Structure 1
Amino acid sequence: MTDILKPEVDRRTLLRRAAAVGLLATPAVTMLSACVGGGSDDKDDSADKPAGTVSATNPLGIKEDEPLEIIIFNGGLGTKYATDVDIPSYNKLFPKSKVTFNQAEEISTVVQPRFTAGNPPDMINNSGSKLMDQGALVQAGQVQDLTELFAAPSVDIAGKTVKDTLIPGTIEQGTFNGKPYVLNYAFTVFGLWYSGKLFKDNGWTAPTTWADFTALLDKMKAKGITPFGYAGANAPYYMYTLLLTSAAKIGGADILKNIDNLEDGAWTNDAVKQAATAWAEIGAKYSNKAFLGLKHTEVQLQQDQYKVGLYPSGSWLENEQAKDTPEGFDYQLMPVPSVTSADKLPVTALYAAAGEQYFVASKGKNPRGGMEFLRHMLSKAGAVGFTQLTKTLTVVAGATDGMEISAGLTSGNKALGAAGADTFSFRFDTWYKKLDDELRAATNELMYQGGTADKFVTRMQKAADAVKKDSSIQKFSR
């Protein structure tokens, strides 16, 4: 068996935790017990020992005719990067290996039952509004340690290991208590997106202060445009990322670190409350409560029709809307305006981090093949192909330097350059699914259902305290 994280909980607690997220049903108890038990003689060590010949081109020792199964989330990034770039790259080195490809819009619905049954795919893109609980998967011993992957040589960047080719912080973003289990592949810049054409036609400029921000929203409202909105049905994550961005700017990036670490009072910190107060007013005065029942693509389509002025999202947005975006729309990104004149971080500060989770199932039939597939994704050719097809950067440093890219990606890169070292992110959403679920509901209440900042921070602190006190949940920290 691969070297897995051994949580400081007893066996019964671990099984209860796994059952809570659907990793086992009653008939599958034996299966999971064998997977996560300590000292069992029936361990599967297929990922520990190379089944094939280790060589310069096969550093992980892949058995050349071993089949491989992958499943990719079909969302804003699509799936063509896998079918048109990464699978051909893998098969170039391993032509005898049959790669079975599947896609899904609801990853947990499709994949979780397969973990329960004991036959998961080898490599999974865990993303979307119905992603699996990544922390629980790690805790249950279902996720492959990627240390060997990152130590392996790059496919096509001579003289460097995979780790050497990555943007700093990439491996840490997918690390759980000291071990790398997840590859966060897409480098995402998050902020407020707008039409450059709409702004140019009306003589508007991107605001930097909250007063200028609300003044702009008033101008949009006067023109019959819904100034701001997000989709409550499946994308409150977009909105809560914006709110926490404001909190980090007001109080400093440690606000998010304290939330991640389940520090006492992290959610009731005044910076979070100020951010919630500011955004609750935006929801009440400048949005459309009907958006509560819409999906992200429905609100995004309204923006493409010039009916919505500003929309919170990551840099995948431009690609996701490509078929509906009118000629000359000109996607542009603005950083979240400063809420106060005393914000600890400048207006140029951004939420920017490696995102979009990919992991290898330690109990899959070919975990080494799953790691090898990720090695091809992390090649220069893989990164270039991904960016060309998705208009999104990867975590392979400098892979797309000098490329002519789209308006939105150019705008995001410019904002990233202006941010410099003032970038930040959070981790609790992948560590603690219960907290993520509660925050989605609390955000919708705050923005669209008459909630208040006091109620929001109190609700979230209660949820965080409950996670902290629950001994069945493995705790992580940074």
Structure 2
Amino acid sequence: MMRRSVSHRLPRAMVILAAVAVTASACGIEGTKNSKVGAPEPGETITYWSMWEENEPQATVIKEAITAFTKETAIQVKVEWQGRKVLQKLTPALRSGDVPDLVDQDGNSVRGAMVANGQHHDLSAVMSAQVPGEGKTVAEVGPGRYRDLITDSAGKPFLVPYEALGYGIFYNGAKHPELAAASPATWDDFIAMLDGRKAKVALDGDIGSYAALWTVHALGAELGAGKVRELAADKTGGAWSGPQVRPALERIEKLAKGGYFAPGSFGSKFPAMQEKWAAGQADFLLMGSWAPSETQKSAPQDFQYRALPFPGMSAVQAAVIGFAVPKRAAHPAAAERFIASFMKKERMQGLATVALNITTRPDIPAPEQLADIARQLTNKPVTPFYEGLDTLGTYPIEVFEPVHTEFLSGKITAAEFVTRLGEKQAEFWKKNS
């Protein structure tokens, strides 16, 4: 799943280790077709710590790519399937210097664990390198519109992404075919749609970050991209009391108190509610683009995965998963060569067809289950997942998510939420400044 005990997005992903700026220019990515990755030594072996577990479909795709790469180059790839805590395991290694040559994770996590402390390798040479056999550079086949998500403060790429992630309000198109032609444009339209259908929204509320998706999206729609992170970064906590915040919180308060969440949303254990949604016991599920792959075994054969954009959002929250090279990697040139090789269309294709993910190559169609999410990612401006809250260290898990779950479950009002959040936030930044 795309969650963690302390975060959402990536399946069991790590807590972000440091606060960093999200905005960065995309300069330094383009390069020229004549640029080359440094030449590795014949017979080298690179060590790759993967965020995937060996039984996952992504691992199947990567294994095939490794086999082909070794056959072509005689470079061996020793892969260790570390799972979602890969960067937690990497952190002490960064201090000791005994690091792998290659890791992968989502951009925000890599930014916090490696970029914030200068332990990343500049991947400009990879971006400028030829994708073997295609006559194009890595930069030309991707990352495209995701460039701002993968550059450091100097505008240099620290990640070469291979998957793109987005959010949507998922529903069964076979049950609600009319929504494909007329999705709710505003929050009022969305509530009217729920009321008219007497629809229920599924939520695994024991995952604080999943609950927070509703309010973070509502705030993003009301305030604009990047503003939610500014509220959270306010060291006094008083910014939450501003009048501009109130409309979004009032909308979520009505959602919380209006009986829209399906029974069990705040009393069950993940993944009970998303499985009930797939089985037809709820109508809508606000979730990331991993929802189809996680729920397909519970869905009936005629289930049609469709997704509404969050009403009123002018941008779409997005993240990317990709490769990074630690600064003190022993074999950086060989690792870079593997990255360029992996970006071949024939190798990345499996991420869509086998793993049911959206790739960062625009010439690879998204799987049918994610066609709506892919259109959002293509047609709207991109803003960081979770509005960048997960770049604020342990703030989400220690401060925002616990207070917010009380709010969304109807235990406290919007006014009480603002007060409690402001107090806890001030205490947090006092301890962490």
Q: Distance in 1 between matches of 2:421 and 2:129?
A: 41
Cα distance, 1:279 vs structure 2: 1.8
Does 1:325 find its partner at 2:294? Answer: no
Cα distance, 1:315 vs structure 2: 1.8
Q: Which of the numbers 269, 274, 280 marks the counterpart of 2:247?
A: 274
TM-score scaled by structure 2?
A: 0.76
Kept in 1, the 8 Å contact 2:37–2:125? The answer is no
Kept in 2, the 8 Å contact 1:184–1:354? The answer is no
Q: Within 5 Å, give how 1:187-266 maps onto structure 2.
A: 187-200=164-177, 206-218=183-195, 221=198, 227-234=200-207, 236-253=208-225, 255-256=227-228, 258=230
Cα distance, 1:290 vs structure 2: 4.0
Cα distance, 1:362 vs structure 2: 2.2
Would the alpha carbon gap of residues 406 and 119 (structure 1) be closer, same or farther in structure 2, given more than 3 Å must change?
same
Aligned residue for 2:283, secondary structure, equals: strand
Give the counterpart letter for 2:45 in structure 1. P
Aligned residue for 2:40, secondary structure, equals: coil
Correspondence for 1:443: 404
Correspondence for 1:424: 383
Give the counterpart letter for 2:66 in structure 1. I
RMSD in angstroms over aligned alpha carbons? 3.9
Q: How many residues were matched structurally?
A: 398
| Larger-Rg structure | 1
Q: Distance in 2 between matches of 1:89 and 1:154?
A: 14
Does 1:140 find its partner at 2:107? Answer: no
Q: Distance in 2 between matches of 1:59 and 1:206?
A: 46
Does 1:413 find its partner at 2:374? Answer: yes
Correspondence for 1:375: 340
Q: Which of the numbers 181, 199, 204 marks the counterpart of 2:158?
A: 181
Correspondence for 1:35: none
Kept in 1, the 8 Å contact 2:292–2:369? The answer is yes
Q: Which of the numbers 98, 105, 122 marks the counterpart of 1:126?
A: 105
TM-score scaled by structure 1?
A: 0.70
Q: Within 5 Å, give how 1:98-137 maps onto structure 2.
A: 98-107=77-86, 110-112=89-91, 114-115=93-94, 118-126=97-105, 134-137=111-114
Gaps of 5+ in 2: 1-15, 19-33
- CA deviation digits over 1:200-233, x for unaligned, max 9? 4999964333334223334555xxx7x1132233
- CA deviation digits over 1:419-448, x for unaligned, max 9? x34543356334322233233323322212
Would the alpha carbon gap of residues 211 and 460 (structure 1) be closer, same or farther in structure 2, given more than 3 Å must change?
same
Would the alpha carbon gap of residues 66 and 332 (structure 1) be closer, same or farther in structure 2, given more than 3 Å must change?
same
Q: Within 5 Å, give how 1:4-15 maps onto structure 2.
A: none
Kept in 2, the 8 Å contact 1:352–1:423? The answer is yes
Aligned residue for 1:198, secondary structure, equals: coil
Cα distance, 1:317 vs structure 2: 1.6
Kept in 2, the 8 Å contact 1:245–1:351? The answer is no
Kept in 2, the 8 Å contact 1:70–1:100? The answer is yes
The share of aligned pairs that are identical, in percent, is 20
Aligned residue for 1:444, secondary structure, equals: helix
Cα distance, 1:192 vs structure 2: 0.5
Q: Within 5 Å, give how 1:43-62 maps onto structure 2.
A: 59-62=37-40
Would the alpha carbon gap of residues 407 and 433 (structure 1) be closer, same or farther in structure 2, given more than 3 Å must change?
same
Cα distance, 1:261 vs structure 2: 7.4
Cα distance, 1:187 vs structure 2: 2.0
Q: Which has the higher contact order (CA 8 A, sep 6+)?
A: 2
Would the alpha carbon gap of residues 86 and 187 (structure 1) be closer, same or farther in structure 2, given more than 3 Å must change?
same
